[in-house]
Amino acid sequence: MTNVALDIALVLALVLGVASLGTSRLGAAIRYFSMQAACVAMVPLLIETRSGELSVHAWILFVATMVLKVSGVPYFLNRSLREASVRTEIEPLIGFGTTLAIGAGLVALSFGLARQLPLPQKPASDLLIPIAFSLLMIGLLLIVSRTKAVTQVVGYLIMENGIFLFGLILIDVFPYLIEIGVLLDLFVAVFVMGIVIFHINRAFDHIDSHQLDSLKD
């Protein structure tokens, strides 16, 4: 039964990632990320349930993720959206349909790559590595194909979700402290980005990251 639950959590994370590629509404993208973070946060718990005991570490990590990634980060992003008063990604660099198709190709690639990867030990689920890879790729694609800074932040966050899953291969040896440190870093990063977005908006009256190009040199 936990196997099925683990499958559902992982696949849901992937589906939400793909959904964030297809949406033009920034609010929806943030919502998808937050739900994805919740799915991802469940994964270590589900893995540990299968092997028996639930450690205190796992609970701490779960609670920290829920507080920071599932509620904290989206809160700040939504706030900066409100401040900047943008709601939709109007002119993406690559169209939504095309991004979706490319995303599907990247997911297929990830599933292929994951098979080639030599691993120190068998992962808890055969979907763990492919989906971790997929989230990495989807995050990168989102950063590459969109112009609004908020979407790019979401892309970065989705990548982080992928990295988090990736770390779970080594769940036995991986010190949770590091993961929690990463989480805090992430939170601070988003906090800073929120402020930056707000200031870009104040200065330029929009949040197109395009405009930052003129700052080079």
| Helix%, strand%, coil% for the chain, nearest 5 | 80, 0, 20
3-state secondary structure of 122: coil
The C-alpha angle 155, 164, 109, rounded to 5 degrees, equals 65
Q: Which residue stretch of 31-39, 123-131, 161-169, 197-205 sits at the interface with other proteins (rule: CB under 8 A)?
A: 123-131
The answer to whether residue 4 forms part of the interface with other proteins (CB under 8 A) is yes
3-state secondary structure of 172: coil
CB of 100 to other proteins, least distance (A): 5
Instruction: Tell me whether residue 18 or residue 186 sits nearer to other proteins (CB atom).
Output: 18
The helix-helix angle for 2-22 and 128-145 (nearest 10°) equals: 10
The C-alpha angle 191, 148, 90, rounded to 5 degrees, equals 145
Task: Print the binding letters for residues 6-35 with other proteins: x by CB under 8 A, - otherwise.
Answer: -xx-xxx-xx--xx--x-------------
3-state secondary structure of 88: strand
CB of 118 to other proteins, least distance (A): 16
- The binder of other proteins chosen from 2, 59, 91, 95 (CB under 8 A): 95
Residue with tokens 């200031």: 199
CB of 48 to other proteins, least distance (A): 20
Q: Which residues bind to other proteins, rule: CB under 8 A?
A: 4, 7-8, 10-12, 14-15, 18-19, 22, 95-98, 100-101, 103-104, 107-108, 111-112, 115, 126-127, 130
